[in-house]
Structure 1
Amino acid sequence: MNIDLSGKTALVTASTGGIGLAIARGLAASGARVVLNGRSQESVDRARARLLHEVGDARVEGVAADLSDAAGADRLLQGLATLGDVDVLVNNAGIYVPGDFFEAGDDTWERHWQTNVMSGVRLSRALLPGMVERGWGRVVFLSSESARNIPADMIHYGVSKTALLALSRGLAKRVAGSGVTVNAVLPGPTVSDGFVAMMQDEVARTGKSLDEVAREFVLTHRPGSVIQRPATVEEVANLVVYVASAQASATSGAALRVDGGVIDDIV
């Protein structure tokens, strides 16, 4: 399968590292012009330089904006105004902070809701109409297996990721028949920057490699995993790039799992 996104512009939020950067790399390698986004200009510039080095003929732009509030979304949209139409929107911005339900206050819930849900709401509200008018577009929300396996130690996070399933399904129905698809992708445990940081103390304490510690984490905390290991960021990105392609034109309103089989059902 030859995925060719030449002539398309893709915006990937929170794309200066981890899964977001891997998605941006995959889209750039498929010919799309990619707009990176991060909280600081320094992080955006660093990610842009990295992509230009790794994907020789990449066309990469960048807009710095913190999407945890409406003002940040407005800054990103203003930055996009000079870059032309967006054909592919990947809503990847998100945070996760463990915390017991009885100790997580309204501020914790509000931070997760604003970043994980409202960032995607705001950008989709602004960019979807243009896609519909042009008769082609792709919107992808990065949800999580935690949307269905709600973690007891991060209920606020799980709720925000479940909301993305409702949001993506509803938007797919709202733009039905327009040539625009809207989908959610549900990663499971993934060796992202945040995961690596979380594992560093265990690596130092045990002297084991990151791969060993990561596999043990999955076997302990996600024993139902079929692949028995965490995914790589590239494995998650591969699914997102496909969903963004012309070949995925019959896939819309779907919750697409790249969770290693953690969710224990057959649908």
Structure 2
Amino acid sequence: MHIDLNGKTALVTGSTQGIGFAIAKGLAQAGAHVIINGRKADVVDAAVAKLQQAVSGAKVQGLAGDLATAEGCRQALASVPQVDILVNNLGVFALQDFFDTPDEEWERFFQVNVMSGVRLSRAYAPKMAERGWGRIIFISSESGLNIPADMIHYGFTKTSNLSISRGLAKRMAGTGVTVNAILPGPTLSEGLQEMLKDDQAASGASLEETAAAFVMKNRPTSIIQRAASMEEVANMAVYIASPQASATTGAALRVDGGVVDTIA
């Protein structure tokens, strides 16, 4: 299958590193004009340069701004008034017990993980519909189904992503705009690498071996019995963004290694 996204513009939120950067790279490799987003201009510039180095001839630009705020979204929309592909990847996570999580943290997670995607989708989807083609992707998580007891506030936001993507897909019926959610499982991103660095140093094992041990301890239902690579998650996003995925909408697409123990 050859995926050709030449002529398409894609905005990937929260994409200076991790899964977001991997998705931006995959879209650029398929020919899309990619917009990388992060809060700090210098970090965005560095990510743009990194992507241009990684993908010869990549069409890429930066968009610095805090999309977790209404004002940040307004500024982004003024700078980039329309896109063909919107990947709502921006998100935060943290381990915190339910009884120690204050209102302010619930609100922060909601604004970053949920409302950023709501605001951008609300602005871009009608313009996609006018052109008769568009792709909106929410990066949810297996934690949206398998709610972690040690970060309930995070799981709540990822379940919200699923509800919004399903409902918006119905709302966009017949327009040529598809809306889907991707549910990564444990993924070997920079965040996980940082979290595991002490364990890796203590064991002397490779990063991949340390991550696999972490997965089997914390997600023992994993069928692949390891962490996914960022590229494996990005591959799903690139396909869903493509013309070939025109019959896939309203779906919760798991790239969780089989962690969620259900056949549906």
TM-score by structure 2 length?
A: 0.99
Q: 2:141 aligns with which of 114, 123, 144?
A: 144
1:217 alignment counterpart: 214
Which deviates more from structure 2 when the two are superposed, residues 162-171 or residues 63-72?
Answer: 63-72
Q: How many residues align?
A: 264
Matches within 5 A, 1:108-257: 108-257=105-254
Aligned to 2:76: 76
Q: Specify the alignment match of 1:59 in structure 2.
A: 59
Shift of 1:129: 0.6
| Aligned counterparts, 1:85-124, within 5 A | 85-124=82-121
Is the partner of 1:99 in helix, strand or coil?
Answer: coil
Q: Residue type of the partner of 1:231?
A: A
Q: Distance in 2 between matches of 1:47 and 1:255?
A: 29
Deviation string, structure 1 residues 115-161 (Cα, Å, up to 9, x no partner): 00000000001100100000000000000000000000000000000
Shift of residue 80, structure 1, vs aligned partner:
1.0
Match of 1:14 in 2: 14
SS in 2 for 1:102: helix
Q: How far did residue 68 of structure 1 move?
A: 2.1
Give distance in 2, aligned partners of 1:69 and 1:10. 20
Letter matched to residue 70 of structure 1 = A
Q: CA deviation at 1:78?
A: 2.0
Distance 2:104 2:209 in 1: 36
Letter in 2 for 1:155: I
- 1: CA distance between counterparts of 2:67 and 2:211? 30
Separation in 2 of the partners of 1:108 and 1:206? 34
Q: Which runs of 5+ in 2 are unaligned?
A: none
Residues in 1 aligned to 2:231 and 2:240: alpha-carbon distance in whole angstroms: 14
Q: Which runs of 5+ in 1 are unaligned?
A: none
What is the distance in 1 between the residues matched to 2:63 and 2:42? 11
> Identity rate of aligned residues, in percent?
61
CA RMSD of aligned residues (A): 0.8
Moved more, 195-204 or 132-141: 195-204
Aligned-partner SS, 1:62: strand
1:212 CA drift (Å) = 1.3
